[in-house]
Chain A
Amino acid sequence: MKQTISVLVENRAGVLGRITSLFSRRAFNIDSLAVGVTDDPAISRITIIVDNGNSVVEQVEKQLNKLVEVIKVRTLDESSMIGRELMILKVSANAKTRNNIMTICDICGAKVADISPTSMTMELSDTPDRVNTFEEMMRPFNILEVARTGMIALQKGGGKI
């Protein structure tokens, strides 16, 4: 089962290395990992998606907590979080296919970021599931390149971790 772990860490050199080294050494699998600074420039937030059993996730949390530079760790409940991933996707496009592509972009809420006589590049920020759906719909048009950020997430409501 996929679970989302939100980790607040000291924004210092080497911290990300410590975290990824912990995952490889303890044989935990990472699906995705996204890092960025928070409103406090001294603190970064790392959002990690893991695909393991419950007991493994508990061990991941505990081991992360042992790292001196880790300030807080929380596994987010899927029903009470906002999770988004950004994808940039480039497909082959010409006068014949452009309209069909635009229709799918409208349905999925993707924006056109770049266009050329032979291609179109779209951006979409949504839940990983919906980003997957958009990618599937684009597949018949010949995808040239894809870049995804990995999901970032916050919990719903006024609370914070």
Chain B
Amino acid sequence: MEMTGAQILVEGLLREKVDMIFGYAGATICPLADVLRSTPQLGYTLVRNEQNAGHMASGYARVTGKVGVCIVTSGPGATNLLTGIATAYMDSIPMVAITGQVPSHLLGRDIFQEVDITGAASPFSKHSYLVKDAADLPLILKEAFYIASTGRPGPVLIDVPIDIQEQVVKDISFPETVSIRGYNPSVRGNDKQIAHVAEAICQAERPVICAGGGVFLSDAMLDFETFAARTRIPVVTTMMGLSLLPTDHPLNMGMIGTQGNVCANKALAKSDLLIMIGTRAADRAIFSPEEIQRRMPSIHIDVDPAEIGKNIQTEIPLVGDVRVILQQLLKRDLTTRCTPWLTQLQERRKEELNREYPVRAGSVFPGRLLRLLGERLQEKAAVCVDVGQNQIWACKHLWLKGGRFLTSGGLGTMGYALPAGVGVKVAQPDRQTVVICGDGSFQMAMNELAAVRAGNMDLKIVLLENGVLGLVNQIQKTAPYHGPFGVSLDGSPDFAAIAAAYGIPSITVGEEGEVENALDRFLAEKGSCLLIAKVDPTVTTSD
């Protein structure tokens, strides 16, 4: 069998069961594009900026559990993609990015559209390859998908010079399996440690589970719910763990952190055993790890041994896949004695959930809108949330019945939500999908309305418009700073006209009393729709 490098790449993608590519064409990726042209079983979504190919692949990967794939050209195509790769890296999203590259014999000469992209991406990619011989491609692709999707998932970059895409290889064979001597992620938890964990759980009087994005990444949602229900241990989540349990689940105490729920933070502060599952306990979630360490012992379950002891010291480390470990634990006696503690927290949580929202004339209170929106969503709805005040409001107020809450939790990349929503829709066209943005973040990605339009998607976009980069504005108004600078979004367009230009209808709501009606019409719309909510710029994330 004789194949070109480009044919090998496409055959490899098909063998990995890839059905969608998010990409942008360019000169050095043309040999590959030429093969894609005659491979209709591989779907292709054209982005309007390469960064968004990364976010779309991320949205796609997060709802399917499959590896998201993006393909872009060399130089600026590749550097534009970098933010997408870094965003995926920080949230441990399985992704394979293929970049075109200048001819291999010209590497290092700074020729047109040349950039050292494997070097540039090295601090925030799980692994990378610069392909020097097309004969290596079958193994490289197999390894790349294996590395991206196993252990702690992450983005893997394959940089393919144009001559390698054109190189003809004879007697090509594709490996079925792969083994890499320096890469052996732990799966099963150590039995001794499992016993320690079970024992500690049974003895604690005020235990609390802190769950993060790792539970989703190991596809452990059901085992997690079973584990929580069996032990009756109150659950708090990080931002990446939101939607693991419905908002009003009797064990759910909300999100922890500087921007989290009061009840969740109280639960964490007063607990006598912290059980961290699939979370790195970064600064946004656990602001002062030293204080937590001083107050209570902790159990840390994570697939990445480097996360254990990195941000917070732990008494009982347990390395392995979260799902496998939860299944191991569920075979043990898990009789706990924390019911009084749970009851106490539940009362506090109830007060928090039943809060009254203020009504202001002439604007929409974002918290109330998001709560009402959540109540109206289908049980399995995916909600993609951007970065800024909109993210904090959504974390605090959006009522979740389960479904999926997707946001850029680690890197905090503005403009993530819209392309991520496109990725979800591409993967699961029938799943109700809502994007929540501010007017700052929306303007970073609104060119992707073209992808929404081209895909004829039913994507619902909520735009909380207050004319300001609200979260930065809040920071600048607080000591040691002296006031706002560079945060007023002057010159912003008429967003209804922007949507209309892409053939997408919109609804504008500026009065509290009209919110319910507007939400009902918005969600009833047959195709995509933009809901523009006029928010008072003085409303903060603490209101």
Contacts and interface: CB of A to CB of B under 8 A. Distances in A.
Contacts of A67: 182
A78 interface: no
B309 A59 contact: yes
- The residue among A18, A58, A63, A66 with the most chain B CB atoms within 10 A of its own CB is A66
A65 B182 CA distance: 8
B314 to A, nearest CB: 12
Contacts of B126: 68
Interface string A26-62: 0000000000000000000000000000010011001
B305 interface: yes
A157 interface: no
Contacts, number: 38
Interface residues of B, number: 17
A112 interface: no
A66 B183 CA distance: 8
Interface stretch (B116-124, B241-249, B280-288, B379-387): B116-124
B183 A68 contact: yes
Interface in B212-231: none
Nearest to A73: B182
B306 A62 contact: yes
B181 interface: yes
B141 interface: no
Nearest to B156: A68
A25 B306 CA distance: 15
A25 B180 CA distance: 25
B127 interface: yes
B364 to A, nearest CB: 43
Interface string B126-162: 1100100000000000000001000000000000000
Contact of A69 (B119, B182, B304, B310): B182
Interface in A3-26: 9-10, 13-14, 17-18, 21-22, 25
B122 A21 contact: yes
A144 to B, nearest CB: 35
A161 to B, nearest CB: 14
A71 B500 CA distance: 56
Contacts of A66: 304, 306
Contacts of B305: 62, 65
Contact of A17 (B122, B180, B309): B122
B122 A70 contact: no
Instruction: Report the interface size class on chain A.
Output: 20 to 34
B309 A58 contact: yes
Contacts of A10: 181-182
Given A14-B130, A58-B309, A63-B306, A68 B122 contact: no
B171 to A, nearest CB: 23
A5 B126 CA distance: 22
Contacts of A21: 119, 122-123
Nearest to B308: A62
Contacts of B127: 68
A67 B126 CA distance: 8
Contacts of A17: 119, 122
Nearest to A64: B306
Contacts of B183: 68
Contacts of B182: 9-10, 67-71
Contacts of A9: 182
Contact of B180 (A22, A59, A68): A68
Given A14-B118, A58-B309, A68 B123 contact: no
A21 B125 CA distance: 12
A148 B183 CA distance: 34
Contact of B310 (A13, A25, A59, A70): A59
Contact of B181 (A13, A14, A22, A71): A71
Given A68-B147, A70-B182, 20 more contacts: A10-B181, A10-B182, A13-B130, A14-B130, A17-B122, A18-B122, A21-B123, A22-B123, A25-B123, A58-B309, A59-B310, A62-B305, A62-B306, A63-B306, A65-B305, A66-B304, A66-B306, A67-B182, A68-B182, A71-B181
30 contacts: A10-B181, A10-B182, A13-B130, A14-B118, A14-B130, A17-B119, A17-B122, A18-B122, A21-B122, A25-B123, A55-B309, A58-B309, A59-B306, A59-B309, A59-B310, A62-B305, A62-B310, A63-B306, A65-B305, A65-B306, A66-B304, A67-B182, A68-B127, A68-B147, A68-B180, A68-B182, A69-B182, A70-B182, A71-B181, A71-B182
Interface of B: 118-119, 122-123, 126-127, 130, 147, 180-183, 304-306, 309-310
> Which 4 A-B pairs have CB atoms at the shortest separation, nearest pair first?
A62-B306, A25-B123, A71-B182, A68-B127
